[in-house]
């Protein structure tokens, strides 16, 4: 099992979590995810996830003009996005706990 497969299920949650602390633009979010340890996350995946979460009404965007480079489209969590983050976070925690205890029972070291 490689991380990419696991990421598919939780990338939404990861993106929402990264945006919770601070608004960000596409490449910025990607970098933050990688810094957080999700090295294998793909650029297109993050970009596509952002577009989908935006279309689902969980994110709002605003454009920040930049002197050096192109205008940047920033994404930020709205109320629905924060809601979703809370719910998905709880779900993940309970799932992770279940998986942890399952592995613990079988004598796997963490």
Residues binding another protein (CB under 8 A): 8, 11, 25-28, 31, 42-49, 51-52, 55, 69-73
Query: What's the CA gap between 85 and 39, in Å, rounded?
Result: 21
**Is 71 or 93 the residue whose CB approaches another protein more closely?**
71
Spatial CA neighbour of 64 closest among 73, 56, 55 = 73
The percent of the chain in helix, strand and coil, each rounded to the nearest 5, is: 65, 15, 25
**Is 47 or 92 the residue whose CB approaches another protein more closely?**
47
**Is 70 or 107 the residue whose CB approaches another protein more closely?**
70
């Amino acid at each position: 099992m490689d991380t990419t497969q696991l990421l598919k299920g939780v990338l939404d949650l990861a993106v929402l979590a990264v945006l919770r602390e601070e608004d960000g633009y596409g490449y910025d979010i990607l970098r933050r995810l990688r810094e957080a340890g999700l090295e294998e996350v793909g650029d297109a995946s993050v970009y596509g996830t952002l577009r989908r979460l935006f279309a689902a009404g969980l994110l709002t965007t605003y454009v920040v003009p930049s002197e050096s480079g192109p205008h940047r489209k920033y994404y930020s969590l709205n109320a629905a996005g924060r809601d979703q983050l809370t719910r998905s976070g709880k779900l993940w925690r309970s799932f992770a706990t279940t998986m942890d205890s399952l592995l613990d029972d079988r004598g796997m070291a963490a």
